[in-house]
Structure 1
Amino acid sequence: MATTLLRKTVLTAAGIAATTGGIAAPAIAAHATPAHADKAVLADRKNGDRELDVRYEAQPNFYYCGPAAARNAISVLGKNIDVDTMAKDMGTTENGTNSINDITPVLNKETGKTYRSVEIKTPKADHKQTDTLRTDIVRTIDDGRAVVANIAGTTTDTDGNPHAFEGGHYISIVGYQNNGHTVTIADSANPNTASYHITIDHLADWIATRGYSTS
């Protein structure tokens, strides 16, 4: 679930945003595609940093965060899947998408890849769960794919800005820095905050009681 949106944003491969409201959203990891890349763009490889090229779109309504997060995740493979189709497959209603277990099968269907659901069932992530999350994110992004996470509550990004989704939300993780100790979020809730960075510790606690889809 997320705040209702009245406009839709698309980031092209060149990082240029077009919105019906005329406001440009921040670009997410816009890079020229190297000749050896296969659909996904990996860049900034120095110092353990990698970013995927996201063709970002904001969610069209307050309850499509699950399908929108999956669409943004799949976009790194050069695919453009209609969110209504994914919403139908996920069983999304005005109450949202029930759990990460409804996201994972759709990611597999649309990518032909093997995603799996990982749950953090505790109210707060411990060191082992956080380290597993970091390993999963690094491995998945190194494979040219994004991670989708179901989160709830409030966290703070590395710039000190809060991101609050008390009723729950879905996001895509599309990059990492410092060998996965900080990650890049693609957030469909608001095109004005389409991309931000948070620490892996904050992300793990944000996911706690819920789960994520990873390779």
Structure 2
Amino acid sequence: MLHHEIIGDGTPLLILHGILMDHRYMKEVLEPVFEKAPGWRRIYVDMPGHGQSPPRDRINSQDDLLSAVVEFVNATLPDRRFALLGLSRGSYIARGIIQMRPNAVIGAALILPGGNPGSDPARLPSHEILEADSSIRPDLAESELWSFDAFSVVQRRDIVETRRRISAPARALWSAEQDARVVKAFELTCLTETEPRVFNGPSLILAG
């Protein structure tokens, strides 16, 4: 069983983190939203090789990662319909769940779903910094530079400190060895070798 934390009552909502993250990151970001949006049973899960869910030798591809999450869903939400929320790679896994269990999913929110290995960079907009602070970068650790340069749209010290608090612990538990295997077989065959299903449920895609 994958490590997970359940908060609240109501409609089940399976929440899937991205690479280098775990359920604590998602909880930190999303729980303030649910203070004003009751009625959701939030299921924050650590995917294998992240957080408190240890890596598994049998996970050698994205398909294997999806299978582990679907196995968790089948055990946790048998005969229950649920909604999905995924961030980055979590949104890709969410798409796989929709493909495999279309009648079970009532709605989906995909946050930053692009940029997977193999994506055409020409289709993506260039990185744009809306609020710059040149005094921050010299104070960053080597391990922080890539994400700061690649993802920071608003450069503020309070954001850097928040990322350190919620990202560094997750990064320390991330299995680079397992992920290296997954990246080599990144594409989900249920999306590439079969006709993708049309999902007619309520959907939200955030790609800014």
More strand by share: 1
Name the one with the larger helix percent: 2
Task: Settle same-fold status: TM greater than 0.5.
Answer: no
Which protein has the larger Cα radius of gyration, Structure 1 or Structure 2?
2
Compute the TM-score of the two structures, normalised by the length of structure 2.
0.29
User: TM-score under structure 1 normalisation?
Assistant: 0.28
